[in-house]
Structure 1
């Protein structure tokens, strides 16, 4: 365990390294405020850009890992800032979503993509069951176990997954400033949107944009939040809002207050 924040413990999970990760590779999971008894748990599945050394950069073109295909730009910084404000646990994945996407069911088409937004990922082409199992064991499973552990450690009332999205994707414009994704818990999403709108009426907020939650393509909501019956929303902030510290701080204030309001409101 190392103390990298003054606010609380930051624990790096080492389990499940398997044969893919070497000693010089980072641990896949980081848990901030791990000892917190807060009723809220935060996740950031697409925070990281790391690629195991054994995968030789996945054969990506120069600079591709820094684009939105490699990670959710600004999402990790935003999630940390919200976690610090709420003093609640935050579970972070350090590896790029292109290695394996920790918000996709293992074995699904989007779990280990051969291309993303028109960019080929040569290191993901033609992988066999053994290769896919190694990535699941080394990277996906520790993240999944850390989520379970956070819920098991203390009673939790709510969970929120923090992401960012790009304004232009596959030729389509995505004009929303933020989206709030859910299926069964629309009341919580609407409380978040209402709280933010009171403080920033000029923002365009949308329910279930820029995409829809589905069992076949999503993990956090179908496999963790819904079965536990906790309040939940997957939060997507447009990444041009998160390009500097001021933008991150502004959105962290909005989201921390909104999450506080959502947890405080009595359930119908």
Structure 2
């Protein structure tokens, strides 16, 4: 399917803007990002041909991540950048042009609207959705000195095929292991029963991730990608509790 074949432009008047800011003018030393916050699909893509309800699953967005990011931003009075479109339209934490950027299959679910796309159709998604998010990240770093930056994600406990993931949260990095260790130490001290890990359930890769390799690492600031299992974010109370834990850990990072 080619999303330009109908002659429509990708984003129309009824589609949301790709980026939403929270606390945009904040000069806090921490910048927060949530690339998989939204699950919108441009009307021109006709739901990507997905089965009913598929976009509500973990393949369509990071369940609970937006609420967690908003709560954390409120506790820290920190700027937060939210991305409004489903990761199935374009995954804004993947380098543009890589296979994971516009996935044709996700957790064994076929995405018909991403099959056989022309280069022009891919570039339009990159220009209109990925591009504005990337520009917002650059702006977030430029408008005030930042000592740390964190990307907020969630993961599912059980993929359709594969082992059950026993971790409640993971802290991902390549080189800044010291920051990840602070998160591990702080949360373990505050909630001894949590199952925590560094670089689980994923690892940061140059051709599979965007924010850390292309923004955080080059700036030499404290950083990690925060992954919380979505079954830990089932209620407002649980989200608030996790935001409190993460805020305390970020405070500890800033004191190092």
TM-score by length of 2: 0.96
Equivalent residues in 2 for 1:148-187 (5 A)?
148-169=138-159, 170-187=161-178
Q: Alpha-carbon deviations, 1:43-94, whole Å to 9, x = none?
A: 0000000000000000000010000000000000000000000000000000
Counterparts of 1:74 and 1:175, CA distance in 2: 18
1:192 is displaced (CA, Å) by: 1.1
Counterparts of 1:92 and 1:179, CA distance in 2: 21
3-state DSSP of counterpart to 1:237:
strand
Counterparts of 1:75 and 1:53, CA distance in 2: 24
Q: Extract structure 1 runs of 4+ deviating beyond 3 A.
A: none
The one of 134, 151, 156 equivalent to 2:124 is 134
Partner of 1:57: 47
Q: Do 2:15 and 2:43's aligned partners in 1 also have CA atoms closer than 8 Å?
A: yes
Matched, 1:47 2:9: no
Matched positions, count: 248
Q: Do 2:11 and 2:42's aligned partners in 1 also have CA atoms closer than 8 Å?
A: yes
3-state DSSP of counterpart to 2:149:
strand
Matched, 1:94 2:94: no
3-state DSSP of counterpart to 2:153:
strand
Structure 1 unmatched ranges of 5 or more: 1-17
1:19 is displaced (CA, Å) by: 3.2
Q: Alpha-carbon deviations, 1:157-181, whole Å to 9, x = none?
A: 0000000000112322111000000
Partner of 1:3: none
Counterparts of 2:129 and 2:197, CA distance in 1: 32
Q: Alpha-carbon deviations, 1:195-245, whole Å to 9, x = none?
A: 111110000100000011110100011000000111000000000011111
TM-score by length of 1: 0.91
Counterparts of 1:37 and 1:105, CA distance in 2: 28
Q: Do 2:9 and 2:44's aligned partners in 1 also have CA atoms closer than 8 Å?
A: no
3-state DSSP of counterpart to 2:238:
helix
Counterparts of 2:50 and 2:236, CA distance in 1: 28
CA RMSD of aligned residues (A): 0.9
3-state DSSP of counterpart to 2:226:
strand
Counterparts of 1:195 and 1:232, CA distance in 2: 15
3-state DSSP of counterpart to 1:92:
strand
Equivalent residues in 2 for 1:234-253 (5 A)?
234-253=225-244
Counterparts of 1:137 and 1:30, CA distance in 2: 17
Matched, 1:195 2:186: yes
The one of 219, 228, 236 equivalent to 1:228 is 219
Q: Do 2:38 and 2:84's aligned partners in 1 also have CA atoms closer than 8 Å?
A: yes
3-state DSSP of counterpart to 2:214:
helix
Counterparts of 1:180 and 1:23, CA distance in 2: 38
